[in-house]
Every structure is written in structure tokens, then in C-alpha cells.
Structure 1
Amino acid sequence: MTAPVVVLLAHPRPGSFNHALATRVVGTLEAAGVPVRFHDLYAEGFDPVLTAEEAYTTGERAEAFLAAEPDPLVQRHRSELREAGGLVAIHPNWWGKPPAILSGWLDRILVPGVAYRLDDAGGAPESLLSLRRLLVVNTSDTTEERERTLFGDPLDAIWRRCLAPYLGEPQVRRLVLRVVADAGAAQRAAWLADVAAEAERLFG
């Protein structure tokens, strides 16, 4: 059986282009027979806030504490990620980072005992996940030239360099769609087709 793909959407406004992208990706994967675990984080009311105990517990005690997570939605997300063979993250570029709700998802889901284990503080992570592919789709209202000149590409560093080692070193593919605010219907339709094609190529 094909391993499930977790699809995350992080945009607060229903009807956004990010929602259209997520709908197309989910539909494409389902049509290809790929099991999908779709999560609209804002619609679900995902709580991104760590408690003090979660944030400062380390080592084996951390794994025991986190395993007793009382929030069933957090437990569900962790369980689905452990079983997944792929992950799709769809979100806007806000100040060079994901929206806060997705940053909080990373904090609460990619925890010791679920995503990784460390032999010692500061050491290399032993990933507990088996993600083979990661597709990140970012929308942006900054031109490529301005972003490269002034900011570099912090989102690429976050997903490719900071997170991939904790996800099982999957193949990473990232698509940046810009400038969304100025894009007409034809351009948006082309982007939807491109993202669907990439999702099918990676996971279908």
C-alpha cells in the first residue's frame, strides 16, 4: 500500500490562493490513489503554543512527557506524520518565515520521540521519521530579485537545511509563486497546473 502523504495548509483566509493550491494538490493525489491526510491548520483551530514544560523538558524525560500529550489533535498529527511517506506544506512567505500557526505546528509535532532522538545536546539528530519526499509551496509578494538581494532565501534554509535532517532527509522540492498579488487568472491557473504536476511527479 502507498504510504500516506500529509498535506498542511497554513493560511487564515478561506478562499485564498493558498486554499486553491491545497485543494488542487489534494485532488491530484487522491486521483492518483495516494492516501492523503489533509490539515487546514487555521480551520482545525490547531493550538501552536508550547507550554513551559514542553519547551524546557529534555532527554528521555522529554519523550515520556510528550508521549502523554493530552490534546487529541496534536496526537493525531504526530501519529499521521510517523506513518507518512511524504509531506506537502503550503503557506505564504511572511517576513521570511512561515505563519505563526505553522511555526507552532513544527514546535509541537517535531518533538523528541516523534520526529527525532538526540544522543547528546547539540549532536546530530537520529530521525525517527521515514519521509521520502517533501514538497513546499510558498506564495510571495516580493520579487525574486528584491528577495535575493536584500534577504537571501530564509524559507529555503528553514525547510531544506534546518528541518530536513529531522524528517528523515527526504528529497526536497520547493516552488515559490510570485508575485501573487499582481497575478491574473491565467497566471494563477498556470501555477495551479504546475503545482499539481509536481505533486503527481513526486508522490503519484
Structure 2
Amino acid sequence: MNLLIIYTYPNRHSLNGAFLQSVIKGSKQNSLINELKVVDLYKEEFDPVLVFNEHKRRRDMHKDPSLNKYREQLLWADKIVFVYPIWWGRPPAMLLGYIDQLFASNFAYKDKEGLFPEGLLKGKSVVCISTMKGPTHYPFLWLNNAHKTLMKRALFQFVGIRKVKFFEFGFMEKSNGHQTKKLEKIVNYFKKVAY
């Protein structure tokens, strides 16, 4: 299987960077993973800002030449791993800008008659690894599970991706946040993960 990691944090020398390294470490010990690619949105200076004008129309976003590389990566991947913090109850604006531009009509989904579109990214799976300052169950208890609903139902299921796994790690800024144990959990998951 081909594994694509979308890393969204402005510092590689951070806890999020350590989670990225844990994904890589575990994946390198998994014989089912043929190849692994990392997209570091901050390092690549990905521009998350949507621009629509007389030269750049929303309906043509699926063929924007500046996004060709990123579309090819998504098509190549069997499993897509997102590593990011949860800020204000949702992923960073950088990642949301990536999603806005890449998960576009006529690439990630196609409108059809009826309530829901046809998802064009069927057959892929996703793992979301997120960190937060507050308690692990904060998004569920206080925000009505908004983070998972946004990512799983409003995005991935919409584009045809049904298999979605979440790791939401809370208390990550506390000295007793069990960071080492959580990092090891990610290593072990990716050592054994199948498609």
C-alpha cells in the first residue's frame, strides 16, 4: 500500500513533529507499506488562500495546474494520514485551505441528481492524528464531536472515503501528558496497520 502523510504544523521539532516521526518509524517496519511520502504544508509554503476572479474560477479548481502535484499524491495514495493540532476545536487554517482546494468538485466528488454527490476517492482510507492542549474528550463533550463530524462526515464520506480512524490526544502541553506512551501507540499502530 502507498501511504501519504499530510503534516500540518509549523515546526518539525515539536510534539506534532514527534508524532510524524512515529508514523514514519512504524510504517518502515510494516511490510504491507510499499512506499511513503510526506507533504509538509508549512515547509512547502502551501498557499491555503482561495482566490477566485475572472482568471481563476471555482468550477475550474479541479484542474488548477499549481495543484497538480498534490492531486497526483492523493490519487497515488491508498492510505492518507493527517497529522495536525486542534486549534479552536478544528484543524489549522493551513490544513483547511489544503482541503478546500484539493477536495474539489470533479476531482474528489462529482455532483449528481439526488441529495449526495458521487465520491471519486472511493477505496482509500484515512487516519487523523491530532493533538490538543485541553482534555481528550473536550471536542466530544463540549463541542458535540464537531472535529470528527467535520472530518469524517462532512469531508471524507462526502468524497467516498468510508474507512476513517481517529487518534485525538489531549493534555499534550502537560508534563504528565503521557506523550511517550502516546507516541509509542502510533508506532505500534503503523507497524501493523493493513489497508
Q: TM-score, normalised by structure 2?
A: 0.87
Q: Match for residue 37 of structure 1? A: 37
Which one of 2, 5, 8 corresponds to residue 7 of structure 1? Answer: 5
Q: 1 CA distance for matches of 2:142 and 2:63?
A: 44
Superposed structure 1 runs of 4+ greater than 6 Å apart: none
After superposition, residues 53-72 of structure 1 pair within 5 angstroms as 53=53, 57=58, 62=59, 65-71=60-66
Once the two structures are superposed, residues 77-130 of structure 1 have per-residue CA deviations (whole angstroms, 9 ceiling, x without a partner) of 11110121111111111011110100000001101121111115x831211113
Which one of 171, 174, 191 corresponds to residue 182 of structure 1? Answer: 174
Any conservation in 2 of the 1:91–1:99 contact (CA below 8 Å)?
Answer: yes
Q: 1 CA distance for matches of 2:99 and 2:183?
A: 26
Alignment of 1:198 onto 2:189: yes
Unaligned runs of 5+ in 2: none
Any conservation in 1 of the 2:61–2:101 contact (CA below 8 Å)?
Answer: no
CA 164–68 in structure 1, closer or farther in 2 if over 3 Å, else same: closer
Moved more, 14-23 or 126-135: 126-135
Q: 2 CA distance for matches of 1:55 and 1:189?
A: 46
Which one of 116, 123, 132 corresponds to residue 124 of structure 1? Answer: 116
Q: 2 CA distance for matches of 1:87 and 1:158?
A: 16
Which one of 100, 107, 113 corresponds to residue 114 of structure 1? Answer: 107
Unaligned runs of 5+ in 1: none
Moved more, 88-97 or 189-198: 189-198
Q: 2 CA distance for matches of 1:36 and 1:123?
A: 36
Q: 1 CA distance for matches of 2:29 and 2:141?
A: 40
Q: Match for residue 18 of structure 1? A: 16
Q: 1 CA distance for matches of 2:63 and 2:163?
A: 31
Identity of aligned residues (%): 22
User: RMSD over aligned Cα, in angstroms?
Assistant: 2.3
Structure 2 letter corresponding to 1:188: Q
Any conservation in 2 of the 1:133–1:202 contact (CA below 8 Å)?
Answer: no
